[in-house]
Amino acid sequence: MTDLLETIAELTHLRNRHELERAFAAVVFRLAEASELILWRVGRRSGEAKLRAQVSLPPLGAEVLLLQPVAECRSCLESATPVRSRIGSLAARHVYPIHDGSRVAGLLELVRPEPFTRLEEHMIASLIKVYGNHAGLLDYGERDELTGLLNRRSFSTLFHQASIRRCGVIGVADIDFFKRINDEFGHPYGDEVLILMARLMEQTLEDSDGVFRFGGEEFVVLLGGANPDDAWRMLNDFRAIVHATTFPQVGRVTISIGLSSFSPNDTGASAFGRADEALYVAKQRGRNQVQCHEWLVKDGSLADAKKANSVVELF
């Protein structure tokens, strides 16, 4: 009992979501005497559940994304209750839901030689509840109050996690003429535009490593593993969706986006700065478009844009 209380104390002391996931997985793996463990994050694609592995023990060696969850995981998602089954005569699979309010935000999948006893089930369920509650508190501090997106505070941590593993792309998006929306329709309708824009980003860019509201009408997206060509197509699809959307009272709204690739051990500030320069060019060239920093550097357009003394309202 003392060991369990100390474990709970150690988990709730952590203030970083990634560290919490790894520590929680390691604790359960040890206490459950498991041979395999995967901590899944639950997302949606076209209304269908998808699972992305956040932590795996032993390590899987590569990112795993399941668009068609195994039967036990699918059953756990549908029932929102624990599921267990035998794997032949030598192992048992247990799948537990991790709740975030009224929805299932994650799954814990365990494989061990034998099914849990009732006491062991209670211990694991209690640890999952502690983990879910603490993760929810961390999310509250890392999310924008208005839109529910990740906030600027969480960007550095997630960018570091994405960049140390692989190359990728960062996109910086800014709503065109947002000040005019607030001035003409009032701030409540401006807030509605921000909320709807956030929902569109989450739905369109759900495979990203993070979507952030940086403040005001500015948003950031991390696309780990993407190259500039694929990222441009993805972000341009999002731009087109925004352009085709009718916002309540306001009507049509457009968005400009700048993107830049990042490499392992790049810094969030420098990557953001490059994407922001590309965003400036998108604004300068008429808005409602996506520009790539690397392409602009290659054709010399970025240098020309910096020299230009534009007097138009860019933001």
As annotated, the active-site residues are: 217
- Catalogue the long-range contacts made by 276-283 (C-beta closer than 8 Å, 24 or more residues apart): 276/172, 277/302, 277/305, 277/306, 278/172, 278/302, 279/172, 279/173, 279/174, 280/305, 280/314, 281/305, 282/256, 282/257, 282/258, 283/174, 283/176, 283/256, 283/314, 283/315
Task: Classify residue 148 by burial, with Cβ atoms within 10 Å: 0-12, 13-18, 19+.
Answer: middle
**What phi and psi, each to the nearest 5 degrees, are found at residue 81?**
-135, 160
Beta bridge partners of 97: 107
Query: Can you tell me the distance from the alpha carbon of 76 to that of 159, in angstroms, rounded to the nearest whole number?
Result: 31
Residue 26 makes CB contacts below 8 A (sequence gap 6+) with: 57
For CA atoms 113, 119, 124, 125, the dihedral sign is: positive
C-beta separation of 219 from 257 below 8 A: no
Query: Can you tell me the distance from the alpha carbon of 63 to that of 56, in angstroms, rounded to the nearest whole number?
Result: 10
